[in-house]
Amino acid sequence: MVVVLELDGDDAFDPYARPKGLDHSAVTIRPKEAQTQPSQRPNPNINNFSKSLGCYPIVTQLTQYIDLNTLHALSRTCRQFRANLLQYRTRLVQQTLHCGNESTPGPFGDHYSRRSVLVSGRVSPCARDMVSDCRRCGRIICRNCAHKPPSASLLRQRHRRLCSKCLATPLPQLSRHWQDPCTCDSSVYLCAPCGTGLNVADTNYLRIWTWRTRYSTYLGGLGTGVGEGNEGVKCWRGEKCVAAQEVEVEIDCSEEGRTSDRESSESSDSERQHWPEGEGKEERAGYWQQEIEGIGGVVKKKIRKRVKMGKTVKEWEDERDGKDEVLGREARGEGRSWCGWCGRVVWGEKDQKAFGGVPELQRGL
């Protein structure tokens, strides 16, 4: 190891100029003019995007759509990105994506200014490091306001069967989120209203198939005609089904909900009879409204309305015989289905082959 020191003058005292045991007589120090300057390597990270990160109006607009984790990952991409973002660090941290509940006043003072939420047995303010939109309704929530995801054992129950028309329709025409399909098998990010009652909805949907199998005429049941005409299991997309059609349904309504049901009933079919309106006039019973006397002499009202319902889905023979579980093909990923949790399409084998890979790799299409 050789120590080379450059002094300003001869009279400057430096105790390390000639330490003991070292002989610098063999070291030749070249003048600065004679030293060859190494060639500078071009910076490959200087491009239009890196220049835009150095522009304050552009980078502030970009920061409003990302959280702190994404901003940190962006700064660690390369040194050029970090240098451009570091000069606006204080402002950018304050302008990152906020939780939708952060604007509500709460017991945490003006710093957090939000209502209290119960997370893992404790009350915690809104977080800023992990903020994203709900996979179902699109509301911006943080990790503290997100609903606790269901257990992994319940993933197979989230599938909903689609009709033949929805299965044959191309993905771009079926859903506007076809490039970002269901990813509940890897991560479930839902808000509290959307995440409440998922287990109950899954159980009710499976009970429909159980009732259909037990009382079907195919098994010599009671002859209820399940699976015939309009009595089968409908496509889960409902009125958004490709082959949706209008059918008449009967709804029991109370005295308080009569007005709202009447308005929705009239708007669904313009050709039906209009109920008389006006102060002091009583609504007359007819085809679209009937009065039924119930238990104890209670008079109830029943209305008929035309609503759009999905097409009846297909039931496989092995499911009727009990050789295969209900919705087994959808759970194994053999066919396209609909997720009952996030409300997005679940790719099947044909969709993965057509678009080349698993759905997680297709988000950047």
Question: Residue 249's beta-bridge partner residues?
Answer: 305
Fill in the amino acid letter for 226: V
Contact 324, 172 (CB under 8 A): no
Using the Cα atoms of residue 322, residue 327, residue 332 and residue 335 in order, give the sign of their dihedral.
Answer: positive
What predicted TM-score, i.e. pTM, was given to this entire model? 0.67
CB atoms within 10 A of CB 80: 18
Tens digit of pLDDT per residue, the chain (365 long)? 556 556 565 555 555 555 544 444 444 445 554 455 556 778 888 888 888 999 999 999 999 999 999 999 999 999 999 999 999 999 999 999 999 888 655 444 333 344 444 444 445 688 888 999 999 999 999 998 899 888 888 999 999 999 999 999 998 888 888 888 999 999 999 999 999 999 999 999 988 887 766 665 554 444 444 445 556 788 999 889 998 888 888 887 764 444 444 444 444 443 343 333 433 334 566 777 888 877 778 888 888 888 888 888 888 888 877 777 888 899 998 989 999 999 999 999 988 888 866 555 444 33
List, in sequence order, every beta strand (DSSP E) within the chain.
117-119, 122-124, 131-133, 140-142, 159-160, 245-253, 289-293, 299-309, 337-339, 345-346
Report which of 135, 142, 70, 72 is spatially closest to residue 103, judged by C-alpha positions.
142
Question: Using one digit for the tens of pLDDT, what is the confidence trace for 225-251?
Answer: 444 555 678 899 988 999 888 888 888
Angle among Cα 269, 272, 277 to the nearest 5 degrees reads 105
Q: What is the pLDDT of residues 254-272, one digit of tens each?
A: 644 444 444 444 444 433 4
Rounded-to-integer distance, Cα 349 and Cα 359, Å: 11
